Structure 1
Amino acid sequence: MALSRRMAASTLLLLVLLVATEMGATTTKTAEARDCLSQSHKFKGACLSSSNCAGVCRTENFPDGECHTQHFERKCFCKRVC
């Protein structure tokens, strides 16, 4: 009788641990990369094409660039992962 109670208690404990680890795995959050923007120093004029902006940003050692409206003007902002 004592052996079956121990077996039942051990099985119940194992089941609770299994459920707890599964619940923890589904609520784990992953970190998302953030983009940092810096206004281009070399881009001249209004930014009308993000591909032109990205090309200028690559000359400034940034991997990408895009046009943004700032104070009613379209400006080129260089972008990289922070």
Structure 2
Amino acid sequence: MERFSRSVSAVIHLMLVLLVTEMGPVAVEGGPICKATSNVYKGLCLIDDSCDIVCKREGFHKGDCKGFLRKCVCTNPC
């Protein structure tokens, strides 16, 4: 019984390690990410997709709504 519980414990630990590594941050080309508030987006940023579209039109890689005041923040690899 002890051998079974050790095997189960080892499998659970392995699954947790794999899960944690899959959930880690993803960096573009391994470099740092630069952030800038959108100059075009007006008002509260409530929908990430709208922010993303505006940021891409401004020449950025991606955009997300961030912060307490819900600003549209655009990101690019530095």
- Note whether the superposition's TM-score is higher than 0.5: yes
Q: How does 1:18-33 map to 2 (within 5 A)?
A: 32-33=30-31
TM-score, reference length from structure 1: 0.56
Q: How does 1:48-59 map to 2 (within 5 A)?
A: 48-59=46-57
Matched length: 50
Partner AA of 2:71 in structure 1: K
Q: C-alpha separation between the residues in 1 aligned to 2:33 and 2:63? A: 11
Q: Report Cα offsets for 1:15-59 as digits up to 9, x if no partner.
A: xxxxxxxxxxxxxxxx83211100000001101111110100011
Superposed structure 1 runs of 4+ greater than 3 Å apart: none
Q: What stretches of structure 1 of length at least 5 have no aligned partner?
A: 1-30
Task: Please say if 1:47 is aligned against 2:45.
Answer: yes
SS in 1 for 2:70: strand
For 1:20, the equivalent position in structure 2 comes to none
Partner AA of 1:57 in structure 2: C
* Percentage of matched positions with identical amino acids: 38
Q: C-alpha separation between the residues in 2 aligned to 1:32 and 1:47? A: 28
Partner AA of 2:61 in structure 1: P
Q: C-alpha separation between the residues in 2 aligned to 1:34 and 1:52? A: 24
Partner AA of 1:65 in structure 2: G
TM-score, reference length from structure 2: 0.59
